[in-house]
């Protein structure tokens, strides 16, 4: 089966600019997650979707970050305006259910550099 | 946010030596998962542990869940250069999301 697709792979922007990341999960996976991974740290959950509804966005900095999954398939994560500390890899993951015995399947991520 | 503590943070071993990383939580865990992330790559699921005292093996990797379900370990026997990477445990919180540990970065010296 095809994996989790993410784009772009890399993005360099100046602070205060906006950026958007795209994720297409594995077909049939109802649950989609966005994680932020700062260099040298473990992935940090930003938001979880179940189909097109938000399950948990308690760690999403809502003053600048937003995410949507309008049709319950693809998802976009946006940052506006970006700060230097947003430099990280943004990982999208999906699972068949909330916590599958087969774990999460991660995409290759988008590496964001804010200068 | 929730953070699971892992030790050690870094480990350098000679090829052929064993390696162990430990994951500790202050709360009782319903289950725990382990992931491997190669340098420049993304986390890849290795295994899930659910039962108290559970031990699972994958070739040279042995995963253990503590009797009290508050800790877990990953042991690699006779490391190889292909084992290089960061190993994360991830614990399931009450909201049914997995929170990742701080990770242990393994370097294998040929």
Q: What is the pLDDT of residue A103?
A: 82
Q: What is the pLDDT of residue A100?
A: 59
**Nearest alpha-carbon partner for B20 in B33, B7, B29:** B7
Cβ-Cβ contacts under 8 Å for A62 (sequence gap 6 or more): none
Q: What is the pLDDT of residue A1?
A: 60
Q: What is the pLDDT of residue B80?
A: 98
The residue in chain B having the minimum alpha-carbon distance to the alpha carbon of residue A46 is: B1
Which residues from A are below 8 Å from B92, CB to CB?
A: 99
* Averaged pLDDT, groups of 10, chain A, 115 residues long: 91 98 93 94 93 91 95 94 98 79 88 98
Strand pairing of B10-14 and B104-109?
parallel
Please give the structure tokens belonging to residue A98.
């909330």
Q: What is the pLDDT of residue B26?
A: 84
Neighbouring C-alpha atoms within 13 Å toward the C-beta of B46: 29
Contact status of B95 with chain A (Cβ, < 8 Å): yes
Mean residue pLDDT of chain B comes to 92
Q: What CA–CA distances, in Å, run from A83 to A16, A24, A36, A71, A76?
A: 6, 26, 14, 29, 19
Q: What is the pLDDT of residue B21?
A: 98
The answer on pLDDT for B3 being more than 90 is no
Which residues from A are below 8 Å from B32, CB to CB?
A: none
Determine, for residues B100 and A48 on separate chains, whether the beta-carbon distance falls below 8 Å. Answer: no
Cα dihedral B89/B92/B93/B95 (nearest 10): 140
Contact status of A103 with chain B (Cβ, < 8 Å): yes
* Closest by Cβ to A43, choosing from B43, B46, B95: B43
Q: What is the pLDDT of residue B8?
A: 96
* Closest by Cβ to B1, choosing from A44, A98, A103: A44
The answer on pLDDT for B2 being more than 60 is no
Which residues from B are below 8 Å from A102, CB to CB?
A: 45, 48
Contact status of A43 with chain B (Cβ, < 8 Å): yes
* Residue B70 backbone zone (phi > 0: left; psi -120 to 50: alpha; other: beta): alpha
Determine, for residues B45 and A99 on separate chains, whether the beta-carbon distance falls below 8 Å. Answer: no
Q: What is the pLDDT of residues B4-51, one digit of tens each?
A: 789 999 999 999 999 999 999 888 888 899 999 999 999 999 999 999
The 10 Å Cβ neighbour count of residue B100 is: 25
The answer on pLDDT for B95 being more than 70 is no
Which residues from B are below 8 Å from A101, CB to CB?
A: 48
């Amino acid at each position: 089966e095809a994996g989790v697709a993410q784009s772009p792979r890399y993005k360099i922007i100046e602070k205060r600019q906006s950026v958007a990341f795209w994720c297409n999960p594995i077909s049939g996976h109802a649950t989609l997650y966005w994680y932020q991974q700062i260099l040298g740290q473990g992935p940090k959950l930003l938001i979880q979707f179940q189909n097109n509804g938000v399950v948990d966005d308690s760690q999403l900095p809502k003053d600048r970050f937003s995410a949507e999954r309008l049709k319950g398939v693809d998802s976009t994560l946006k940052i506006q305006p970006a700060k230097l500390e947003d430099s990280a890899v943004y990982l999208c993951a999906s699972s068949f259910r909330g916590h599958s015995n087969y774990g999460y399947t991660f995409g290759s991520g988008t590496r964001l550099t804010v200068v | 946010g929730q953070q699971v503590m892992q030790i050690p943070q870094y480990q350098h071993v000679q090829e052929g030596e064993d390696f162990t990383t430990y994951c500790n939580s202050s709360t009782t865990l319903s289950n725990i998962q382990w992931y491997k992330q190669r340098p420049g790559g993304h986390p890849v699921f290795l295994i899930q542990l659910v039962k108290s005292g559970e031990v699972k093996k994958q070739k040279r990797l042995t995963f253990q869940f503590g009797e009290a379900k508050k800790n877990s370990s990953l042991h690699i026997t006779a490391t190889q250069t292909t084992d290089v990477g960061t190993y994360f445990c991830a614990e399931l919180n009450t909201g049914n999301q997995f929170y990742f540990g701080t990770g242990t970065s393994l370097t294998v010296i040929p």
